[in-house]
Amino acid sequence: MHKPSVAELRPVVHPEGVKDRRSGEHWAGRLYMREISLRVDRHLVNTRVTPNQLTYLMTVAGVLAAPALLVPGITGAVLGVVMVQLYLLLDCVDGELARWKKQYSNSGVYLDRVGAYLCDAAVLVGLGLRAADLWGGGRIDWLWAFLGTLAALGAVLIKAETDLVGVARHQAGLPPVKEAASEPRSSGMALARKAAAALKFHRLILGIEASLLILLLAVVDSARGDLFFTRLGTAVLAAIAVLQTLLHLVSILASSRLR
């Protein structure tokens, strides 16, 4: 059976606009993962593997980032990054396989969103448990586990706030929201949103960015011989999550997305 080349796959699985989606494509996908996924696609398009099966596997990989981060030291942080990168790879491949095989389904879209929720939450919960020093032999400080869980809750709520716009519009009989409707009606809110977008601090609570930050913190802590920076990072991400949850809610209410 003919195995398609990357050149044959690209126009089908990467149609125009896929890499340019404002809110649907991660920078890591545009930068490198979409090129890696094309090479994986070649070996899967002629198999019985379905897009939904890959989505299930993607979700498992994302969730496994949490126990991976419980391994002490740099090793655990590296394992966390590996699991999140595997999640990202499968997140690219499942959609590309669906386009090639024309196996589209609402369940696939739904499962993809569930996987995104769980991956972001798993990384932040894993960070909190890592900061609590479960295997350190001393007293476990559950404050850090709480802060990591708080950050995870914020990351999930931010995604839910976005998704619930579609739910509210559907129940009101309105068409899907247009991109222009996301712009705040207030000039002050618009300026604040542009400032936040420029700083991109909110991205730190996403699973991919958070896992890379955790690795950086683990390297620094390894040189120090303690968990100071891991704990500092946990507190900062919890604060960002709470602030961003509130700001995102206000941004939605101040825009035309619900009108």
* Per-residue pLDDT, 137: 74
**Do 45 and 4 touch, CB atoms closer than 8 A?**
yes
* Per-residue pLDDT, 188: 54
Q: How many CA atoms lie within 13 A of 23 on its CB side?
A: 8
| Residue 1 placed within a domain | no
* Per-residue pLDDT, 140: 85
Token pair, residue 143, equals 């404050």
Tens of pLDDT, residues 205-246: 999 999 999 999 999 999 999 999 999 999 999 999 999 999
**Number of domains making up the chain:** 1
Phi–psi pair at 113, nearest 5 degrees: -65, -40
Tens of pLDDT, residues 17-59: 666 665 567 889 889 999 999 999 999 999 999 999 999 999 9
Determine the structural domain holding residue 54 and report its residue range. 6-254
Supply the angle between the helices 73-101 and 51-63 in degrees, to the nearest 10: 170
CA distances from 11 to 5, 14, 250 (A): 11, 5, 39
Phi–psi pair at 199, nearest 5 degrees: -75, -35
* Per-residue pLDDT, 136: 78
**Matching residue, tokens 């891991």:** 230
Residue type, 149: T
Distance from the first to the final alpha carbon of the chain: 52
Token pair, residue 212, equals 């890379």
Report the greatest alpha carbon distance in the chain: 60
| Residue 72 placed within a domain | yes
Token pair, residue 175, equals 């068409």
Q: What is the CATH number of the domain that holds 75?
A: 1.20.120.1760
Mean pLDDT calculated for residue range 178-207: 63
**Do 170 and 154 touch, CB atoms closer than 8 A?**
no
Token pair, residue 48, equals 């019985």
**Matching residue, tokens 């705040």:** 184
What span, in angstroms and rounded, lies between the C-alpha atoms of 228 and 52? 41
* Per-residue pLDDT, 227: 96
Token pair, residue 234, equals 């946990």
- Give 177's pLDDT tier (boundaries 50, 70, 90): confident
- Which residues, 6+ apart, have CB-to-CB distance to 190 below 8 Å? 183, 184
200 φψ region: left (φ > 0), alpha (ψ -120 to 50), beta (else): left
Compute the C-alpha angle 68/69/70, nearest 5°.
90
Across 200-209, b (16+ Cβ under 10 Å) vs e yields eebbbbbbbb
**Matching residue, tokens 């007293």:** 139
| Residue 19 placed within a domain | yes
Count of residues in the chain: 259
* Per-residue pLDDT, 101: 94
User: Which H or E run includes 259?
Assistant: none
- Tell me the average pLDDT of the chain: 90
- Give 187's pLDDT tier (boundaries 50, 70, 90): low
Token pair, residue 68, equals 């991976």
